[in-house]
Structure 1
Amino acid sequence: MRRTARLVTGTALAVAAAGLAAAPAYGGDAGSLEVYPSTVVPGGDVTVNTSACGADGTAAGDASAVGAGSFTLAPSAHEQDVIGQFRVPPSAQPGTYEIVAKCAGGRQVTGDLMVTLTSTREQIHPRGHVKTGVGGALGPDPVQTAAGVAALAVAAAGGTWLLHRRARGDGI
């Protein structure tokens, strides 16, 4: 009975300790820096925010890992977040970069930014006419369309005439 009680007590303590170790030190998501969009192409704008600095706090942001330098995070109307923006330089290379914000109180939070060469946010659909050399009835130039129709009519008339001569036995 004693052995079972020790086993149950030991298991309960281990589970409680694991739960405390996994619990965040602050409520909510106060320990991270949110980066939006998390994936960006070179030359794109990035917004970062965190609630780690408090409602009236400020923070100094550092995006020098991606080549954007420093920026400021200021209080926003959104809950208790501080928010800031920076632009990823057009010369940035693809990869994952750590963005850092240091609160006025000394607390530091980080978030990841992924730079890619292709945008995943918005796909561009082709518009306009395709220049294949074939043309079309609704093409951009009615003169070229009329010339194409005339060329087809001449070819059809010539082919009909040649077939008619062959059928009569006149030869080509």
Structure 2
Amino acid sequence: MSLTKEADNTQELTHLNAKGEANMVDVTEKAVTSRTARAEGFISMSDKTFSMIASGEHAKGDVFAVARIAGIQAAKKCSDLIPLCHPLMLSKVQVDFELIHETKQVRVISLCKLTGQTGVEMEALTAVSVATLTLFDMCKAVDPLMVISNIRVLEKQGGKSGDWVA
């Protein structure tokens, strides 16, 4: 993965205090700025499962609608799931799906936005993770061998560390 802005490997871990104990980062003095993050993940499945969800013929109904709502809810609950994440007032959460016919995969893409003092990368990753897990849950009776993979942040904008794209 190449980044348009190289990561600074000299920074210390911010979620540990001087004693090495878990610590929620103090963002009190950070500037309030517009922040955006996009993430993606993939779920691979059998031809039968892919065909079933692509055509909307799954017995459980529109699996994409359910997975989209699950992803949006997950982003909103990120601080409840990840212990040291700040609770954020998200202004936008979007979850989209791309069918990749050649490989029988669904690509899940999330977008999270806010105006605040900390980034939204974890929220974007959580949205993708829960959306792919929901697709798995809704299709596991038909295809228990599905594989979720390659969940990552695609880009982030705003904040002290600047913008970057994977």
Per the TM superposition, whether the score is higher than 0.5 is: no
- Higher RCO by CA contacts (8 Å cutoff, separation 6 or greater): 2
Q: TM-score, normalised by structure 2?
A: 0.33
Q: TM-score, normalised by structure 1?
A: 0.32
**Larger of the two Rg values belongs to structure:** 1
